[in-house]
Amino acid sequence: MKKADKLLIRALKGETLKSPPIWLMRQAGRYLPEYRGTRAAAGSFLDLCYNPMLATEVTLQPIRRFGFDAAILFSDILVVADALGQKVGFEEGRGPVLEALKDGKDLAQLGLGKFHQHLGPVYETVSRLRADLPKETTLIGFAGAPWTVASYMIEGGSSRDFSKAKSWMYGRQQDFAALIALLVEATSQYLIQQVEAGAEVLQLFDSWAGTLAHNDMRLFSLEPTRQIVANVRAVHPEIPIILFPRGVGAGYLDFAEAGVFSALSLDQSVPLAWARDQLQPRVALQGNLDPQLLVAGGRALRFGVGHILNRLGKKRFIFNLGHGIVPETPPEHVAELVKLVREGAG
């Protein structure tokens, strides 16, 4: 099948479809027993990310089970920090742990010297996937957006209040600007290589954009992601790029007005009628079912799906969650969701 005929690409182009394409953020992961099996065989989580054979396998698992319209490369946003030379690990039950950047001296140790060599296995995973995926399935490559990745690099892991990252933003402006600039360059190059290896669509995750004041959001979420889009499109003018600026509320309008993103991924707090009237005329939308509805299942799930389909409909729309699948999700509920969306539960 030609790329232009794939359902996800047709939705991004604004065609009216019988039912929207569907894929789910974190569709590969711990809620699937087969993922837990492969993950145990791989060793650590990062070993899995850097093992092209096993990373390909876990990317394909949810496609085999549910027949989603898109597969997302199995990796993590923090491989970019790792490839820039910062020590990154993942601890069971705790999430990512990084050797936090303290100042400009730590930042100066990082660089692009071994970047592509380090990420070679990820590019190989992308090309294997392009060869192995069903013909109708779109392959999505991805990266974290600079603010979200910078927050992990400065905080040393997940954070509740982002106090260290914001102390750089407000008190070490030069170092912070240098870190963001480094991430813009690294992320642009990383995404260009993914396209060259076979990615057909890209998604940028700015999971923590919603923690920023509106003006900072424009400076450190909108601006860097806009620059990345410009850099990638300078090499691949046609590549569709979806942005997930999670939690920005009315700020979604700023991203829609920027006019450069192919689609915006909405978190579950975004009002559907507002999104339909204010955003969808300007940009394709993706989202935004509450991941906990997928845990609940049953009537609540059917109602939630119908609500979204009725409002965001069949044009310029990709069905997804408002954030990633949680490990407690019963796989049968995911199968039910795919059926509901394809049958048009609206």
Question: What's the CA gap between 276 and 285, in Å, rounded?
Answer: 9
Among 22, 60, 72, 101, binds ligand 1CP (CB under 6 A): 72
Judged by beta carbon, residue 191 or residue 345, the one nearer ligand 1CP is 191
> If DSSP codes are grouped into helix, strand and coil, which group holds residue 202?
strand
Q: Is 50 in the site for ligand 1CP (CB under 6 A)?
A: no
Q: Is 206 in the site for ligand 1CP (CB under 6 A)?
A: no
Written as one letter, the residue type at 228 is I
Active site residue 311: no
Active site residue 76: yes
What tokens appear for 283 in the block? 């940009």
Q: Is 205 in the site for ligand 1CP (CB under 6 A)?
A: yes
Peptide bond just before 288 cis, omega within 30 deg: yes
Active site residue 282: no
Task: Build a one-symbol-per-residue string for 92-111: x at contacts with ligand 1CP by CB under 6 A, - elsewhere.
Answer: ---xx---------------
- Contacts with 339 (C-beta within 8 Å, 6 or more apart), sequence order: none
DSSP codes, 108-120: HT--STTHHHHHH
Choosing from 31, 35, 39, 246, the catalytic residue is: 39
Question: What's the CA gap between 24 and 22, in Å, rounded?
Answer: 7
Choosing from 50, 123, 152, 190, the catalytic residue is: 152
Active site residue 39: yes
Q: What is the CA radius of gyration of the chain?
A: 19
Q: Choose one: 8-16, 20-28, 100-108, 291-299; the region binding ligand 1CP (CB under 6 A).
A: 20-28
Among 30, 164, 282, 311, binds ligand 1CP (CB under 6 A): 30
Task: Build a one-symbol-per-residue string for 244-263: x at contacts with ligand 1CP by CB under 6 A, - elsewhere.
Answer: --------------------
**Which residues of the chain form beta strands (DSSP E)?**
70-72, 88-91, 95-98, 138-144, 201-206, 241-245, 263-265, 284-289, 317-321
Enclosing H/E stretch for 207: none
- Pick out residues in 118-157 that bind ligand 1CP (CB under 6 A): 142
Write out the catalytic residue numbers.
Answer: 26, 30, 39, 76, 152
Enumerate binding residues for ligand 1CP (CB under 6 A): 25-30, 39, 45, 72, 74, 76-78, 90, 95-96, 142, 158, 205, 207, 324
